[in-house]
Amino acid sequence: MKNVGLLFIAAAVFVLIGAPVIFASEGSVGPEVISYFKWIAIATGIGMGIATFGTGIGQGNGVRGACDGIARNPEASGKIITALMIGLAMIESLAIYALVIELILLYANPFLKYVVG
Amino acid sequence: MEHPVLLLDFITHPLAHFMEKYFNLTDGNHLYHMTYMWFYMLLLVGISLIVVRKLKMVPGRSQNFLEVVIGGLKDFTVNTMGEDGLRFFPLIATLAIFILVANLGDIIPGFYSPTANINTNASMAIVVFLLTHIIGIKVHGIRYVKQFTGPIWWMAPIMIPIEIIGHLARPLSLTVRLFGNIFGEDLVLVIILVLAPFLIPMPVLALMIFTALIQTLVFTLLAMMYISGAMEEGH
């Protein structure tokens, strides 16, 4: 099974290096923009993945505390659920910060004018 | 980002041409944020004026509904901020009702939400930020700086930059949280509609309603906690 891993890595390297040659035949977008955006695509994917990783752990801990609280005291479940919702929204906003950076990189990139032309 | 097809385009397009011809503003694509903000403002003020015109001791249906809304917000404010938080009740209730209506309006096809633009959220967050500091200085006087120095006096050179950065992060986080949630939900809906059209994105619409309510609650609650935190006596 080690050969499959090496094969996959070789294919990925081939695609990454050969992509400008393959895509440069399109007339509309220049090769330097494509090669700039391939790095943007990798950064966006990995960055959002790391942000979601931490958010998942944090929100899971929050839900665990809320479930413990409701299990011990079912009468207080209204207040516990309110506090849980607020806590989840606050932790979610950390992933939203990363999402906003990705959206800026993809759609309103400030460095694009230095790459084009 | 393409220009969506909206209901109020019959106002936005001539207005964009007018601005372009006479004022040289070529940014007409973003004019629909302003149009929809004015639409929601006029809708809320119009409903209030219609209901207030005939107030009765035994309320009718619409007056009852508005009384429930205002009464609920008042109880929420008093629970979080104490009795002297009623001074800020107009601002808190305006923020809550406007953000709720704007967020929920995003779900209706043909409507657009002004809270999906970062300028609306930034202006609301800056109002709350300035209010916290002005209230803090008004209540405490010059001793408001003591809230920045921390508990021990010789740790002040370390605590003051940390507290200043923490305070500056508050309007930024309020803005980006609301903007990211509403604009991100917009984008998710568009992408899922491209992938799987017709009735399949219904759970995404349910998620959008849920997100709209929760984000209103979080924005209003954070605004109340910042204002009451600036008003309270020291630790």
Predicted local distance difference test score (pLDDT) of residue A30: 80
End-to-end CA distance of chain A: 46
The closest of B215, B127, B120 to B171, measured between CA atoms, is B127
Residue of A nearest to B182 (CA): A96
| Residue contact B214–A93, C-beta within 8 A | no
Q: Does B13 touch chain A (CB under 8 A)?
A: no
> Which band of pLDDT confidence, cut at 50, 70 and 90, is reported for residue A2?
low
Predicted local distance difference test score (pLDDT) of residue B24: 73
| Residue contact A89–B183, C-beta within 8 A | no
Q: Does B177 touch chain A (CB under 8 A)?
A: yes
Q: Does B188 touch chain A (CB under 8 A)?
A: no
| Residue contact A93–B1, C-beta within 8 A | no
Residue of B nearest to A99 (CA): B180
User: Which distant-in-sequence residues (6+ apart) come within 8 Å of B95 by Cβ?
Assistant: B124, B128, B219, B220, B223
Q: Which residue in A44, A79, A92 has the most chain B C-beta atoms within 10 A of its own C-beta, making it the best mutation to test that interface?
A: A92
Q: Does B152 touch chain A (CB under 8 A)?
A: no
| Residue reference for tokens 């809906």 | B189
Residue of B nearest to A93 (CA): B177
pLDDT tens, chain B, 235 aa long? 566 778 887 887 787 777 777 777 766 667 788 889 999 999 999 999 988 888 877 878 888 888 999 999 999 999 888 888 888 999 999 999 999 999 999 888 888 999 988 999 999 999 999 999 999 999 888 888 888 887 787 888 888 888 889 889 999 999 999 999 999 998 888 888 888 877 888 888 999 999 999 999 999 999 999 998 888 865 4
Cβ-based contacts of B214 with chain A (< 8 Å): 85, 88-89
Q: Which residue in A59, A84, A96 has the most chain B C-beta atoms within 10 A of its own C-beta, making it the best mutation to test that interface?
A: A96
| Residue contact A89–B179, C-beta within 8 A | no
Q: Which residue in B214, B216, B220, B224 has the most chain A C-beta atoms within 10 A of its own C-beta, making it the best mutation to test that interface?
A: B214
User: Which distant-in-sequence residues (6+ apart) come within 8 Å of A91 by Cβ?
Assistant: A55, A58, A59, A62
| Residue contact A100–B215, C-beta within 8 A | no
User: Which distant-in-sequence residues (6+ apart) come within 8 Å of B19 by Cβ?
Assistant: B25, B28, B31
| Residue reference for tokens 């370390």 | B158
pLDDT digits (tens, 9 = 90+) for A8-64: 565 555 544 544 444 444 456 788 888 888 999 999 999 999 999 999 999 999 999
Average per-residue pLDDT in chain A? 82
- Rounded CA separation B59/B93 (Å): 21
- Rounded CA separation A6/A28 (Å): 35
At CA A35, angle to CA A32 and CA A38, rounded to 5?
150
Predicted local distance difference test score (pLDDT) of residue B2: 62
- Rounded CA separation B89/B73 (Å): 8
Cβ-based contacts of A86 with chain B (< 8 Å): 217-218, 221
Residue of A nearest to B178 (CA): A93
Using an 8 Å Cβ cutoff, are A63 and A45 in contact? no
Cα separations in angstroms, B201 against B105, B133, B185, B191, B213: 17, 44, 12, 10, 19
| Residue contact A96–B176, C-beta within 8 A | yes
Using an 8 Å Cβ cutoff, are B35 and B12 in contact? yes
What pTM was computed for the model?
Answer: 0.82
Nearest to A86 among B183, B184, B217 (CB): B217
| Residue contact A100–B217, C-beta within 8 A | no
- Rounded CA separation A42/A46 (Å): 6
Amino acid at residue number B124: M
- Rounded CA separation A108/B8 (Å): 26
What ipTM was reported for this prediction? 0.76
Q: Is B184 helix (H, G, I), strand (E, B) or coil?
A: helix
The neighbour count for residue B188, using CB atoms within 10 Å, is 15
Q: How many CB pairs under 8 A join A and B?
A: 35
